[in-house]
Amino acid sequence: MAGSVGKSQPFVVPPPVVAVPALQIQSLVPSTWSTGLCDCFSDCGNCCVTCWCSCITFGQVAEIVDKGSTSCGTSAAIYFLILYLTGCAHAYSRRYRTKMRALYMIPGNLCQDIAVHCCCELCSLCQMYRELKHRGFNMNLGYHGSIERQNPTPATVAPSYVGAMTR
pLDDT in tens, 140-159: 888 887 777 766 555 555 66
What is the rounded CA–CA span in Å between residue 151 and residue 167? Answer: 42
Residue 19 confidence (pLDDT): 47
To the question of pTM greater than 0.75 for the whole model, the response is no
Q: In what helix (H) or strand (E) does residue 91 lie, and over which residues does it extend?
A: helix 89-104
112 pLDDT above the threshold of 90: yes
Of 100, 101, 124, give the one whose Cα is nearest residue 37: 124
User: Does residue 116 register a pLDDT over 70?
Assistant: yes
Average pLDDT over residues 46-74: 93
pLDDT category of residue 92 using cuts at 50, 70 and 90? very high
Instruction: Report which of residues 132 and 5 the model is more confident about.
Output: 132
Residue 113 near residue 101 (C-beta atoms within 8 A): yes
Write the CA distances from 86 to 15, 22, 68, integer angstroms.
55, 39, 27
